[in-house]
């Protein structure tokens, strides 16, 4: 099934992640390793669809790689700095995916959260946040590219309305920019 605006989001999508507790960002240890868990996107969509707070949008943001300058300095930080705004606009969860393994995505995610999310922020005022291994989702949908012998995800953002599972916005970068997958492009669709 192609990924396009207005089409349903595929079923049976799974990512691998390690939970990041954002309640006390000062206590986060990026070097602490834990066992990855499976994020079943169908289950997440179902939970968000029935949210009593009307946080019915799921945002998936894909990065070419953890610990890369464009991703870690320009692409993801604006999302983290605006978690409360995104929640106010009914984003119930944000899943940041890359081809890096879940341990690398977790360490990178913890580092970014420590840097850009204010400690003590009310977690109910923010969307759920996941940094996850893609598990082949992007490759399956033609959203990868080989760079220097490594398979990388293309940079993209996808906004899903969980009530009807339809893709509200799907923006894929075609140049080395952040104008289709960045925070401003997403906010314009909310």
CATH of the domain at 94: 3.40.30.10
Whether 147 maps to a domain, the answer reads: yes
Report the distance separating Cα 165 and Cα 175, nearest Å. Answer: 28
Average pLDDT estimate for 153-166: 97
Whether 30 maps to a domain, the answer reads: no
Structural domains in the chain (count): 1
- The closest of 121, 131, 106, 105 to 25, measured between CA atoms, is 121
Q: Which pLDDT tens digit goes with each residue over 18-66?
A: 999 888 888 899 998 899 999 999 999 999 999 877 889 999 999 999 9
* Domain encompassing residue 68: 14-20+35-187
Whether 128 maps to a domain, the answer reads: yes
Assess whether pLDDT exceeds 90 at residue 137: yes
Whether 136 maps to a domain, the answer reads: yes
Whether 26 maps to a domain, the answer reads: no
Average pLDDT of the chain to the nearest whole number = 94
Q: What is the pLDDT of residue 54?
A: 83
Whether 61 maps to a domain, the answer reads: yes
Whether 52 maps to a domain, the answer reads: yes
Q: What is the pLDDT of residue 123?
A: 72
Assess whether pLDDT exceeds 90 at residue 171: yes
Q: Which pLDDT tens digit goes with each residue over 81-95?
A: 999 999 999 999 999
Q: Of the listed 63, 71, 93, 117, which one is catalytic? A: 71
Residue 33 a catalytic site member: no
Whether 44 maps to a domain, the answer reads: yes
What is this structure's pTM? 0.95
């Amino acid at each position: 099934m192609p990924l396009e605006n207005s089409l349903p989001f595929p079923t049976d999508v799974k990512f691998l992640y390690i939970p990041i507790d954002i309640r006390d960002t000062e206590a986060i240890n990026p070097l602490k390793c834990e066992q990855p868990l499976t994020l079943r996107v169908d289950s997440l969509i179902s939970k968000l669809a029935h949210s009593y707070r009307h946080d019915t949008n799921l945002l998936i943001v894909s990065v070419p790689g953890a610990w890369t300058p464009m991703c870690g300095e320009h692409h993801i930080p604006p999302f983290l700095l605006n978690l409360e705004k995104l929640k106010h606009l009914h984003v119930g969860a944000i899943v940041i995916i890359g081809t890096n393994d879940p341990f690398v995505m977790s360490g990178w995610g913890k580092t970014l959260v420590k840097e850009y999310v204010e400690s003590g922020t009310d977690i109910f005022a923010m969307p759920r946040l996941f940094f996850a291994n893609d598990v082949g989702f992007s490759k399956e949908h033609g959203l990868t590219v080989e760079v220097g012998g490594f398979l990388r995800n293309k940079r993209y953002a996808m906004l899903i309305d969980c009530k009807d599972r339809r893709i509200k916005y799907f923006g894929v970068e075609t140049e080395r920019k952040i104008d289709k997958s960045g925070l401003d492009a997403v906010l314009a669709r909310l």
